[in-house]
Amino acid sequence: MYGTTILRVYEMLRASGVTESERSFGRWLGRGPDYVRDHRRSHGMMRVSATAAAHLRTRLVILSKQVPPCLSREIDQIITIVDQGRAVAQVLAR
């Protein structure tokens, strides 16, 4: 997955009130507070580590199970975006 996907997911989660800032979203990824900022500075062209992508997906799946069905559908859409981003990165890495 590339930073463009992380930035898109961050914006979606921030708009829904799940995360407050790029710094707090870095912890969602299992990374430091500057992780998202670094991806923004690279204009989303840096590759996201597989560990961070997996950590994000796991956290989203857990969140999806904890919220009401109407919100769960939104979270599931974000999970789909993460999965697509991971698939694109795998194809480009070949």
Which sequence spans correspond to the domains of the chain?
A: 3-93
pLDDT at 46 (0 to 100): 83
Q: Which residues pair with 47 in a beta bridge?
A: 2
**pLDDT class of 50 with cuts at 50, 70, 90:** confident
Rg for the chain, CA atoms, rounded: 13
Residue 59: pLDDT over 90: yes
Taking the CA atoms of residue 73, residue 79, residue 84 and residue 87 in that order, the dihedral angle to the nearest 10 degrees is -150
pLDDT at 75 (0 to 100): 94
